[in-house]
Chain A
């Protein structure tokens, strides 16, 4: 089996330092909508200058390089155990090269391991054996500020009058955005999962964030809801950094998973504007990044 450590290191560098084009485009459009001279306008101007600088200098967009979350799709014959070793090696190398901040902290002693390697859950790696010949690794770097404002609702939830339907999902999503205010580094992006158990619902809500900002949900009902949640979240006027303004949420992605008859979870993962997710594809000898 081929050793991909250096290629995975490049995936980490690319993800940490180079904001995806679709995210940057959404930020530029938001910048154009804000009032010139406002704090919101100034915040987005600084954000966009930083995005350009980090791409040029190959330095982290945000100092909180977050939890590295890998989604690996491997063809038959590859060893997930060896891929895990290579990913871990690449993560430690990326930390030494300052593409990642040392972020793995022992929850009891408070000790930082210094190389981003914690227990079997840090870094996070999801493996799936897939059809075909291609191996893909998607990486998401999700910072603590936005992870802390994620929320899970168990419907019905009478405090927000949310029942077990799409109207309940809308209510939960808007409540989550309001609760977050500027703390998740608005303008943000929402990954929403309906259903699952508590654990799978959180995972699915993050997988939803692997979608492109400008794509449309194939389910027309969910596509409408995504559009409505984004529009109404922006009416809240929380704005970039919570300074007040028009851009609060720049995209909503909804997914569903089967649930127990007794459970109806709505999980909202909030992604900060520094929406770092990249993908590498291995086809034979060729490795490409997007």
Chain B
């Protein structure tokens, strides 16, 4: 059933996001194409200087491209949050009477939201690549080595960083879903309750984080336990910079997975055991 939900959710969000992604891509790629063309003409001495009007058009296109990319991510976020929010409104009367579990509903919304966001990020990488790829006849792209780390280790670190980013995106959406689910407990004031939940839960989490950091800092000052652990980790991995980066990213990933797991479980509990559609 999850694949059917995914099909339905991708189709619904795609109606809004596909034209937007397509439009922004055309705009940005047109800008990059023009920019690269001017660059090529200048390199081949066919164009001595950039005329004022061309610079103005280029600047306008560049500005619109940046706005377009910003709009792409904002719309992606808003569309996906609204899709979940509406699940607890009139659309819930259809979606929650389908023979699927609350966890499947949640999974579908999350996978779709993360996929569109990752799709947007990949597009930005594509724009970056289109801007940086060397023109025919120009010097090839140089890759500068990072001291103390091999290319393979760097690739591993980047892959781990990508996983951390993916977990971060998923946690972000899950957190907003949780706030919507909590807000859904007050069906008559759902929007206000959802927004209030967002700020209250965030405040509580920040206070909790500050307390944990305060305790950790106090422990570090009095016993030096944190430095001890750091040194032990460094020694454990034979003073390898890559291993330390892996350990750090691994810890962040673990924290995100645990946080995301808790938020998922609580949201799923609200959807399956405390559902109260107005």
The answer to whether A and B assemble together is: no
A interface vs B, CB < 8 Å? Answer: none
